[in-house]
Amino acid sequence: MTYDKIHFMRPDIPYWLALNEFNKFGPRSMMRLFSYFQNMELAFKADLQDLTNAGIRQNIASQFIHERQNFNPEKITDTINRHGITAVTSQDDSYPPLLKTIYDPPAVLYIKGKLPSIDRAHVAVVGSRKASPYGLQCAGMLATELAKAGVVVVSGLAYGIDEAAHIATLKTNGITIAVLGTGILNPGTERQQYLAEKIAQSGGAVISEFPVRMHGAKQNFPIRNRIISGIGHGSLIIEATKKSGSLITAQSALEQNREVFAVPGPITSDTSVGTNNLIKMGAHPVTCATDVLNVLNISEVQEIARSEPTPDSKEEALILELLSKNPIHIDELTRQTGLQSYSVASTLSLMEMKGQTKQIGGMYYVKTI
């Protein structure tokens, strides 16, 4: 499946966008509204009683009713259309499947450019804004090697390591995704705006969960880090101080059952304290891109893709038929195969040991070969 053309998948999309403009409605509030109303136009126009019945606190519901005249669904939709921005909701098939599996996926994603195929491995490459020459060299080298292997490089468009990873990927004619802590129409400085445009024009994407005109707020950047880690298969940290924001990305990756990688650095360097500590705690040490590719079985995938694995049982055959790079829940596998739940669970365990599948968190499975 590819995302070359992303269209509004839901007739009520303008109301998703309008509700998302209200800063007191986070992903969980949006899901409460969707679960209760099943149509966001009804949610947007609801009275106080229905909003509170949907699980919205009364003071928040009152504030929204007072302010909603400021959120014009048609004008918001027109704005993103005029700027070539598309939007998908967490209920759309075109929403990134790996991102759906995290604890609190964004209710709405704004996209400039196009998201690459879900069949390509995605790896986050992040690190210190105040990167050393060593860190910048590592970021450029590793991003280049990953991009040449066909990996989509995901980062946050910040100065330092993030910027170096994006630029190196572009120079390699690779694909990169920038995840913003601002609205897409306010990516930061002119330098960041230029890089964002280059990413979108070069086959990649600039994405954000924040309304398109939202300016940067300090609290938004840790929030967006869960997207950087959640959209991919692993996170590579290159230089991080003891309290670096990049460590939030690493923590998010662990919570999402993603792989965490770290580049070791000089023990005398403040920007290596965080990465060295990650390695002590079990992160995969990385000195070349092969270290990442091997853990994620990327080189093996390319080699095995020419001949599909032979199932060793009827159960494996049924499950292999359903597995892909698109995550599928164990309950859905049970439903579609018609097997007993214990049989599906035990077969998946065997298949994991063979390297045929992997659980990425929340009992969601993907095909690895």
Instruction: Report, as an integer, the average pLDDT of 115-120.
Output: 89
Where does the pLDDT of residue 3 fall: very low under 50, low under 70, confident under 90, or very high at 90 and above?
very low
My answer on whether 208 and 340 are in the same domain is no
- Domain-located, residue 111: no
Full strand arrangement of the beta sheet holding 364-367: 328-329, 364-367, 357-361
My answer on whether 157 and 282 are in the same domain is yes
- Domain-located, residue 199: yes
My answer on whether 70 and 145 are in the same domain is no
Q: Considering its fold, how many domains does the chain have in total? A: 3
- Domain-located, residue 102: no
Where is pLDDT greater, at 103 or 263? 263
Distances (CA, A) of 22 to 25, 63, 180, 264, 360: 6, 9, 18, 42, 32
Buried b / exposed e across 315-333, counting CB within 10 Å, b at 16+?
bbebbbeebebbbbebeeb
Could you say which of 273, 296, 319 is where a domain stops? 296
My answer on whether 257 and 179 are in the same domain is yes
Tell whether the model's pLDDT for residue 300 goes beyond 50. no
- Domain-located, residue 105: no
Domain of residue 63 covers: 13-95
CATH assignment at residue 339: 1.10.10.10
- Domain-located, residue 114: no
Where does the pLDDT of residue 369 fall: very low under 50, low under 70, confident under 90, or very high at 90 and above?
low
Could you say which of 243, 266, 296 is where a domain stops? 296
Per the prediction, the chain carries an average pLDDT of 91
My answer on whether 208 and 142 are in the same domain is yes
Whether the CB-CB separation of 238 and 97 falls below 8 Å is answered with: no
Give the whole-number percent of the chain exceeding pLDDT 90: 79
pLDDT at 308: 57
My answer on whether 160 and 264 are in the same domain is yes
The upper half-sphere exposure of residue 366, i.e. CA atoms within 13 Å in the direction of its Cβ, equals 21
My answer on whether 283 and 318 are in the same domain is no
Instruction: Report, as an integer, the average pLDDT of 27-31.
Output: 96
My answer on whether 233 and 287 are in the same domain is yes
If one counts every other C-beta atom within 10 angstroms of the C-beta of residue 234, the result is: 21
SS3 131: coil
CA distance 48 to 45: 10
Tell whether the model's pLDDT for residue 76 goes beyond 70. yes
pLDDT at 353: 76
My answer on whether 237 and 330 are in the same domain is no
Q: Tokens standing for 148?
A: 């040449």
pLDDT at 63: 98
CATH assignment at residue 222: 3.40.50.450
pLDDT at 367: 83
My answer on whether 56 and 81 are in the same domain is yes
- Domain-located, residue 209: yes
My answer on whether 79 and 216 are in the same domain is no
Could you say which of 296, 321, 343 is where a domain stops? 296
Tell whether the model's pLDDT for residue 305 goes beyond 70. no
- Domain-located, residue 174: yes
- Domain-located, residue 362: yes
My answer on whether 189 and 273 are in the same domain is yes
CA distance 258 to 200: 26
pLDDT at 277: 95
